[in-house]
Structure 1
Amino acid sequence: MKQIDKTGQTSGLKIAGISLMLMMLTALAGWGIYAIPAPVVDRMLESDLRLRASQLNQHIASHLHDVEATFKHAIMDDHDQEFLELLPETSEIYRFKLFDRNGRVFWSTRAPDVGTTNTKPYFQEILATGGSYYKHEEKPIAEVSGLNHEVMAGSGKKTCHVAEIYTPVVIDGEFLGAIAFYSDITPQRDLFITRVRWSLAVLSGVSLLALTAVILVIYRTNRRQVRDLRARAAKERELMDDQLRLAREVRLLGELNEWLQSSRSLDELFDMVSRFMTHILPEAEGSVYVYSNSRDVLDGCASWNEGSHKAHIHPEGCWGLRRGRTYEFGASEIDFICEHAEPHDGRPYFCFPILAHGETVGLLHLRAHDGREEAFHDSKKLAQLCAEQVSMAIANVRMRDQLHDQSVRDPLTGLFNRRHMTETLRKSINRSQQNGSPISLIAVDVDHFKKFNDTHGHDAGDMVLRAVGSALEQGCDRDEIACRIGGEEFMLILPDNTPDDAMTRAEQVRQAVEGISVRYGEKSLPRITISVGVAHYPAHGVMPQDLMRSADDALYAAKDKGRNQVQVANFGAISASTAELSGQKTPETKGARKSAAT
């Protein structure tokens, strides 16, 4: 008996020590979840923003007519001014400034900055020696251009996180000046910090859950040992089985979380869920439903363990969705069957609403196998954890899809932007080089758009651009894409189209735009016409920039001939574009383009 008491006291001290350690780990985990993400995310954002700023610096230098004249004497032509003014609209920066070598601002998106001088030490010590300078600080919301200040103020935020990146302009080893970029990184920073905190919270929660379970198992084992020493061997085997099961569940939950977070689409995510749930909850069959875009029904996405799912179910037909919390059939004296569980054979089941950022996005339905009802009821907590894992994964995939869509779409027209167009054209050319399929490129420009804007206003101009973009998008089929590359300029990529087919499609597009009627207020706007240029691969270029330049030359040829017509590029366009890239002037380069545009 003394030995038993001694064993109980020793076990009690161990349990107390483990409890103390668990509390310390909990406090440490809470501190880490709050303190660690911000500096880590800031370091990641700094590295990414430095790279983007360097690329923007090269982009600006490559588009200026004469870089040395611009930074030494502040000489810029109309094309340079237009390009600089449009740059904030086509990139994530909301403000930037150009400095000469002495730190004086000679051009800025904000007129009051012009003429000021940067006398900070880093300008001469870092920038003048070829390095870049990065500064991150919080600024008032009113300081950031392009934000809806009323909305931001309503959200309770009074400041934004702004990144300032200064990059040097160096030509042939000579320091000519610098460019400063200002970017509002508040959304990205908050998003990444939230994701890191969630990830740390999940990992910490799983670890603490495992430690808590181990403490409970040890405590129960100690009580069993004190009551009956002769059953010690059997109880130890039972303890070992429990530990193995718990370790397996924790391992599977960790693997499930890791795989779900790396899924690239919802289809891939649901396939992973089906495979993991078969192993995590073998005593239950299950299915997953997700709200459709219209939010009126839920679509069946996956099922496992001999379960099945319906194509569509109504949210009112599930008691879990109607009550907004987990519904367990078979746990109460009086139960009601969900419509989606029909036909029902009396087996217990769970309905877990899947939540993402406070919004219900789907349903996880689990039903016990015959003869496994007791084990099924015991698995409720594990099933709830699985539902939470699926919830976070769906939220991450949807948010990633939204961010990707925002990065490749033009916000005004909804068409793809210039960056996506360039990447798609490059991939199409590589594919054509492998299989010999034809490619055509159509350049589109709205006729007299500047005059139209000056006469009817920018709001009416935006309506025209949206209408033209809609007509171009409706004219695309299969792998064809329509892009807005800037201002009133658009392009269409037509893979697998012969030259004759491309010319026919170009004429159809022209006629479709000509037939558009746009109403602004209580009146109809004047007729819209476009000039169209067509180029074919490889006849008019084998590189993306050559093909785009050929289509652009054909577009300006259409303008020279009276507008509202389609012109195909000539075979001299390749050499002309190549000469222009090398700095030589040809009759079909800058002078001809300016005359055509005016």
Structure 2
Amino acid sequence: MLRTDILKQAELWKRRVVLHLEDPETALRTGQIDHHDAEFLSTMPEASDVYRFKLFDTSGRVVWSTRPEEIGTSEPRNFFRSDVARGMTHYIQETVPLSEIDGLDLHTENTSKTTQHHVAEVFMPVTKNGRFIGAIEFFTDFTDLRSTFIYRLRVSLAILSGIALLALSAVSLVTYRTNRYQLQSLKNRSDKERELMDDQLRLAREVRLLGELNEWLQSSRSLDELFDMVSRFMTHILPEAEGSVYVYSNSRDVLDGCASWNGGSHKAHIHPEGCWGLRRGRTYEFGASEVDFVCEHAEPHDGRPYFCFPILAHGETVGLLHLRAHEGSGEAFHDSKKLAQLCAEQISMAIANVRMRDQLHDQSVRDPLTGLFNRRHMTETLRKAISRSQQTGSPLSLIAVDVDHFKKFNDTHGHDAGDMVLRAVGSALETGCDRDEVACRIGGEEFMLILPDNTPDDAMTRAEQIRQAVEAITVRYGEKSLPRITISVGVAHYPTHGVMPQDLMRVADDALYAAKDKGRNQVQVGKSNQTVTDIADRKRPVVSGSSTSLAKP
């Protein structure tokens, strides 16, 4: 009877161990047990009648034990390979001294009454799909249980010797009910422990994913990359919800849809007044109150609950995180509100960091007066453009621009008027750029344009168009218009005029000074031998007040 009871309990112990191991087969084969599983295995003797147990691989080697010194040893007895390895349970009962029983608090009372204790040693095979993958050996001290059974039997025989059959039936009934109660208690305890362990594992997973999300978001280099990371992480963090994220456009009139996940979708643009979360400045939960109103961006609505989390950065609302429950996940969806709020906070901090990083980058590469790129960015961009042309064979041209008689503007009308002239010229140059073309202010009244993928003829045409656009500018200062603005332009082509950035810049500058020497307000192209050819006659007719000439490069 004791053996049967112990074997039943051993089966339950084995199930508890296997169920709590994340990957039993890998753990038994390699002995690699993660921190959470090891912590559970170490605490199991404190919550059961087991005072010691081991995990074996298929060869009989110990891969884990409550006694660490046993790890790596092998089971030498033959029954392991003849019985256990074939899927049979092996039971050994023996009497051992007190020193052989691990001194856990749960067994202190059991071990304090006698120096010799009855111990059951049970080998339980572990199989998967009918295949032997390892074994577990349990040690349990049943001294008190054995004494109890013997005592009850003797009392029953002494008192009920005349009605032995009835006494035997009564003992059997008591034993059955006792075992039934113990099994039920063990099952209830196991269920509670499993629920607690599941909650702890879920919490640990959420904390880990939030940490990883924060780490990845902080390393994103752009908002597009950031929103791609958000989509991938939110699929794992909140699998019971579909979602989307919106960010205010530069105009602040609408929010632009940036990303969606888990089957969700986003509109191209939404108005902030169409979201109750944005209008009220706090999280809006549809489905939590008796009376709810649907946001415009959630239409068409099918009745499923959803969240609207305003995304804040430095106290300012910069976007919206929208989450909607999947079909049949209403309760789990509501329980995830706190986690979703933490995700919104992580996203808001990441957006603020990316925008601040973009602002700092712009400040480092932009001219504060005109908004054009500065000399540092121009040099780096020109170097990359030359490298690309070397690899692909695509054409490349460089245009140098200088405002004619700029000193007179400053001396006659003041520096404010001069700044207005530089801004007007910078705006005209930026308007004249297309695709990957870059306009830069390299200092004072000097500008340069990098024109990749432009043939020499195209570059000359663009240079003349820019000259005419600047000439057509009218700048008002105070109550009057400033004198007409003109520019002198020099053009250099890669690789005709050089293959190094400094070579192209020198040729373009030489062509620019040649234009000034010939009367200003014209375009000149450099030659590889450092001579220049007049090109303006081909681009425009000669007019009063300007000197124009034209020649092929």
CA shift digits 1:408-452 (9 cap, x unpaired):
111111111101110111011111111111111111111111122
Alignment of 1:235 onto 2:192: yes
Secondary structure, in 3 states, of the residue corresponding to 2:491?
strand
Q: C-alpha distance in 1, partners of 2:244/2:285?
A: 15
CA-CA distance at 1:374 after TM superposition: 0.9
Match of residue 271, structure 1, among 228, 231, 242: 228
Alignment of 1:466 onto 2:423: yes
Match of residue 524, structure 2, among 560, 567, 571: 567
Alignment of 1:510 onto 2:467: yes
Aligned to 1:349: 306
CA-CA distance at 1:527 after TM superposition: 0.9
Alignment of 1:301 onto 2:250: no
Aligned to 2:384: 427
Alignment of 1:380 onto 2:337: yes
Q: C-alpha distance in 2, partners of 1:461/1:475?
A: 21
Aligned to 1:284: 241
CA-CA distance at 1:369 after TM superposition: 1.4
Match of residue 444, structure 2, among 470, 476, 487: 487
Q: Which amino acid aligns with 1:304?
A: W
CA shift digits 1:198-251 (9 cap, x unpaired):
xxxxxxxxxxxxxxxxxxxxxxxxxxxxxx887322111111111111111111
Alignment of 1:453 onto 2:453: no
Alignment of 1:390 onto 2:347: yes
Q: For residues 197-276 of structure 1, what are the structure 2 equivalents within 5 Å?
A: 231-276=188-233
CA shift digits 1:152-189 (9 cap, x unpaired):
xxxxxxxxxxxxxxxxxxxxxxxxxxxxxxxxxxxxxx
Could you list the runs of 4 or more consecutive aligned residues of structure 1 that deviate by over 4 angstroms after TM superposition? Answer: none
Q: Which amino acid aligns with 1:562?
A: G
Alignment of 1:408 onto 2:365: yes
Q: Which amino acid aligns with 2:340?
A: A
CA-CA distance at 1:570 after TM superposition: 2.5
Percent of paired sites with the same residue: 92
Q: C-alpha distance in 2, partners of 1:310/1:500?
A: 44
Q: C-alpha distance in 2, partners of 1:281/1:365?
A: 12
Aligned to 2:277: 320
Secondary structure, in 3 states, of the residue corresponding to 1:303?
strand
Aligned to 1:332: 289
CA-CA distance at 1:572 after TM superposition: 2.2
Alignment of 1:361 onto 2:312: no
CA shift digits 1:357-412 (9 cap, x unpaired):
10001111111112111111111100000000111111111111111111111111
CA RMSD in angstroms, aligned pairs only:
1.4
Q: C-alpha distance in 2, partners of 1:561/1:470?
A: 26
Aligned to 1:193: none
Aligned to 2:35: none
Q: C-alpha distance in 1, partners of 2:310/2:412?
A: 55
CA-CA distance at 1:270 after TM superposition: 1.1
Q: C-alpha distance in 2, partners of 1:462/1:433?
A: 38
Q: Which amino acid aligns with 1:235?
A: K
| Conserved 8 A contact 2:375-2:441 | yes
Q: Which amino acid aligns with 2:359?
A: Q
CA shift digits 1:495-544 (9 cap, x unpaired):
11222222221111111111111111111111111111111111211110
Q: C-alpha distance in 2, partners of 1:362/1:518?
A: 39
Q: C-alpha distance in 2, partners of 1:478/1:313?
A: 29
| Conserved 8 A contact 2:309-2:321 | yes
Secondary structure, in 3 states, of the residue corresponding to 2:441?
strand
CA-CA distance at 1:345 after TM superposition: 2.0
Q: Which amino acid aligns with 1:279?
A: H
Q: C-alpha distance in 2, partners of 1:256/1:350?
A: 20
- Larger Cα Rg: Structure 1 or Structure 2? 2
| Conserved 8 A contact 2:488-2:522 | yes
Match of residue 526, structure 1, among 453, 460, 483: 483
Q: C-alpha distance in 2, partners of 1:499/1:230?
A: 85
Q: C-alpha distance in 1, partners of 2:268/2:436?
A: 29
CA-CA distance at 1:493 after TM superposition: 0.9
Alignment of 1:555 onto 2:512: yes
Q: Which amino acid aligns with 1:349?
A: Y
CA shift digits 1:232-278 (9 cap, x unpaired):
22111111111111111111111111111111111111111111111
Structure richer in helix, relative to its length? 1
Q: Which amino acid aligns with 2:376?
A: R
Aligned to 1:444: 401
Provide the TM-score with structure 1 as the length reference.
0.57
Q: C-alpha distance in 2, partners of 1:259/1:340?
A: 29
Q: C-alpha distance in 1, partners of 2:433/2:273?
A: 39
- Structure 2 residue runs without a partner (length 5+): 1-184, 532-553
CA-CA distance at 1:482 after TM superposition: 0.9
Q: Which amino acid aligns with 2:225?
A: E
Q: C-alpha distance in 2, partners of 1:509/1:542?
A: 25
Q: C-alpha distance in 2, partners of 1:440/1:326?
A: 54
| Conserved 8 A contact 2:498-2:528 | no
Q: Which amino acid aligns with 1:423?
A: E
Q: For residues 46-65 of structure 1, what are the structure 2 equivalents within 5 Å?
A: none
CA-CA distance at 1:573 after TM superposition: 2.6
Secondary structure, in 3 states, of the residue corresponding to 1:431?
helix
Q: For residues 89-238 of structure 1, what are the structure 2 equivalents within 5 Å?
A: 231-238=188-195
Q: C-alpha distance in 2, partners of 1:369/1:230?
A: 33
Secondary structure, in 3 states, of the residue corresponding to 1:371?
coil
- After superposition, the Cα gap between the structure-2 partners of 1:570 and 1:345, relative to the gap in structure 1 and judged at 3 Å, is closer
CA-CA distance at 1:571 after TM superposition: 2.3
Secondary structure, in 3 states, of the residue corresponding to 1:492?
strand
Q: C-alpha distance in 1, partners of 2:519/2:327?
A: 79
| Conserved 8 A contact 2:254-2:272 | yes
Provide the TM-score with structure 2 as the length reference.
0.61
Q: Which amino acid aligns with 1:483?
A: C
Q: Which amino acid aligns with 1:569?
A: G
CA shift digits 1:117-148 (9 cap, x unpaired):
xxxxxxxxxxxxxxxxxxxxxxxxxxxxxxxx
Secondary structure, in 3 states, of the residue corresponding to 1:573?
coil
Q: C-alpha distance in 2, partners of 1:281/1:570?
A: 64
